[in-house]
Amino acid sequence: MKLTLRIWRQNGPSDKGAMVEYKVDDVSPDMSFLEMLDVLNERLILDGEEPVAFDHDCREGICGMCSLVINGAPHGPERATTTCQLHMRKFKDGDTIDIEPWRARPFPVIKDLVVDRTAFDKIIQAGGYISAPTGAAPDAHAMPVPKPDADRAFEAAECIGCGACVAACPNGSGMLFTAAKVMHLGLMPQGQPERYDRVVDMVETHDDLGFGGCTNTGECTVACPKGISLDTIGMLNRDYLRATAGGAKK
């Protein structure tokens, strides 16, 4: 396949940045999107040019590091996939592809396509933990968990922290991520001691970091590679109301 790539190049956080056009003409449909960028970068390096900086780690859809807006869609045109699991067979010979970083105020660009997602770490630090007594690990069956609760907690725990929900949201809200992190602990018995402090602290930190408010547009769940549903935000809202209006805590 021969492709035209228009890629966001930005030398550093204070650089203005611009789209730069590149041609690639030896792309196999079996390559992943990141392998296609590897081909471009190998050529740029051989030509003595600066390679395009982009984030990746596992390349298996697990780590949440890959983060590209491809033709305007976070993680590209295929639903329920990460950029690293997107393959070039989803594109046609002769296509022009726009590649940009996540665009959101709390995710400043570090270089080219790499953004700083420390803001997500700060939300986790605000409440994404449980208190656990030290000592030997308890028996696995010492604390029974109803199957429906375990399933819903597991679904929420699938969030890989990629940030596509923020990049997709017209408000730049990180509420789907926050809700997933709040609920995967809040649905389990082990998460109950901090349950109502957790939801207030994580939502307040989310807002303080400059993420926008959720207005239920649903773009987040469409872009999410792990299928985190809007119900998760509904559960977060219920816990938040109990914590603040209902006087459960705080």
The residue from 5, 36, 64, 86 that contacts ligand FES (CB under 6 A) is: 64
- Residue 36: contacted member of ligand SF4, ligand FES, none (CB under 5 to 8 Å, by partner type): none
Does 80 sit near ligand FES (CB under 6 A)? Answer: no
Q: State which of residues 37, 65, 168, 169 lies at the interface with ligand FES (CB under 6 A).
A: 65
Q: Does 70 sit near ligand SF4 (CB under 6 A)? A: no
Residue 165 interacts with, from ligand SF4, ligand FES, none (CB under 5-8 Å by kind): ligand SF4
- Per CB under 6 A, the list member of 10, 82, 205, 229 interacting with ligand FES is 82
Binding status of residue 224 toward ligand SF4 by CB under 6 A: yes
- Asked if 176 contacts 185 with a C-beta cutoff of 8 angstroms, the reply is no
Query: Would you give the DSSP letter of residue 87?
Result: B
For 173, the 3-state DSSP assignment is coil
Which of 101, 128, 163, 186 touches ligand SF4 (CB under 6 A)? Answer: 163
**Does 176 participate in binding ligand SF4 (rule CB under 6 A)?**
yes
Q: Which of 51, 49, 68, 161 is nearest to 109 (CA)?
A: 68
CB of 237 within 8 A of CB of 243?
Answer: no
Q: Which is nearer to ligand FES, 87 or 242 (CB)?
A: 87
Q: What is the DSSP letter of 28?
A: -
45 binds ligand FES (CB under 6 A): no
Q: For residues 53 and 63, which CB has a smaller minimum distance to ligand FES in the complex?
A: 63
Whichever of 61 and 128 has its CB closer to ligand FES, that residue is 61
**Where does 62-214 have alpha helices with state H?**
118-127, 147-157, 164-168, 175-186, 195-208
Residue 193 per-residue DSSP state: T
**Alpha-carbon 76 to chain mean position:** 13
Least distance in angstroms from the C-beta of 161 to ligand FES? 10
Q: How far apart are CA 114 and CA 242, in angstroms?
A: 38
Cβ distance to ligand SF4 smaller for residue 5 or 164 = 164
* Spatial CB neighbours of 47, under 8 Å, sequence gap ≥ 6: none
Handedness of CA 205, 209, 213, 219 (dihedral sign): negative
Beta carbons of 184 and 153 less than 8 angstroms apart: yes
Could you tell which of ligand FES, ligand SF4, none binds residue 84, using a CB distance below 5 to 8 A set by kind? ligand FES
Task: Report CA 130 to chain centroid distance, whole Å.
Answer: 22
Stretch that binds ligand FES, among 58-66, 134-142, 176-184, 186-194 (CB under 6 A): 58-66
Applying CB under 6 A, the residues found at the interface with ligand SF4 are 159-165, 176-177, 180, 223-226, 228
Applying CB under 6 A, the residues found at the interface with ligand FES are 56-59, 61-66, 82-84
